[in-house]
A and B are shown apart, each in its own frame.
Chain A
Amino acid sequence: DIVLTQSPALAVSLGQRATISCKTNQNVDYYGNSYMHWYQQKPGQQPKLLIYLASNLASGIPARFSGRGSGTDFTLTIDPVEADDTATYYCQQSRNLPWTFGGGTKLELK
């Protein structure tokens, strides 16, 4: 299985930039696409898709969110951070079965 590693927590100030990383133990690129996706989950809610195929903004997601990366290293950036962004963020790969998720990064405000 592909293992995705995320830092457990990140604290940033309102209006600043948050950069959340996700590293994989295998390459998730295939024929020009990076099969890496990002989700936001708030307590008691279902996850919400933010970014798909590494850098594509999902429908209805503000442009403050962006994703980049390839191969084994990926980042989700939130700039500027707003109070409503406090949540846990998960990366997910769909390069190889079984699909797997990172352990999540909890974003908190300083």
Chain B
Amino acid sequence: QVQLQQSGAELVKPGSSVKISCKASGYTFTSYDMHWIKQQPGNGLEWIGWIYPGNGNTKYNQKFNGKATLTADKSSSTAYMQLSSLTSEDSAVYFCARGETQGGFFDYWGQGVMVTVSS
């Protein structure tokens, strides 16, 4: 069965960076986009961008250009998102989600990673 297992919660200082992971199993990792979605406490969902692990191509929501960097390691079927220059506005839960290429919807989601930015 398809599973996306994300790394654990992070407490980080303002101005620093953090890298969170999403390990995929149960399907061919290089054949599907991996998306990242942000959810601030009590708020809705915001799409950050995607990476196609097959060739490393990425696409970002312009709002997250310079904030998020998406990478993928084919050997371990793991996708990563690095967030830089962190502020309190980056405190949120971050989900990875497998993207269905033709339709643009997210059919499997990771459990989410809570990132807290605090001094």
Which A positions have Cβ atoms within 8 angstroms of B?
33, 35, 37, 39, 45-49, 52-53, 58-59, 90, 92, 94-95, 97-104
The CA-CA distance from A90 to B106 in the complex, in Å, is 12
- Residue contact A37 to B47, C-beta cutoff 8 Å: no
A90-B45 contact given A37-B103, A48-B109, A52-B105, CB 8 Å threshold: yes
Taking A47-B45, A92-B45 as given, write out 7 further A-B residue pairs in contact, using a Cβ cutoff of 8 Å, ordered by the A residue number. A46-B95, A49-B108, A52-B103, A52-B107, A90-B45, A101-B44, A101-B47
- Residue contact B111 to A46, C-beta cutoff 8 Å: yes
- Residue contact A90 to B44, C-beta cutoff 8 Å: yes
Q: Which of B63, B107, B112 contacts A98 (CB 8 A)?
A: B63
A18 to chain B, nearest CB (A): 19
Interface residues on B, range: 20 to 34
How many A-B pairs with Cβ below 8 Å?
61
The CA-CA distance from A69 to B44 in the complex, in Å, is 22
Q: Is B74 positioned at the interface, with any CB of A under 8 Å from its CB? A: no
- B contact residues around A37 at 8 Å (CB): 103-106
- A contact residues around B112 at 8 Å (CB): 46
The CA-CA distance from A109 to B95 in the complex, in Å, is 28
- Residue contact A102 to B59, C-beta cutoff 8 Å: no
Q: Which of A35, A49, A95 contacts B106 (CB 8 A)?
A: A49
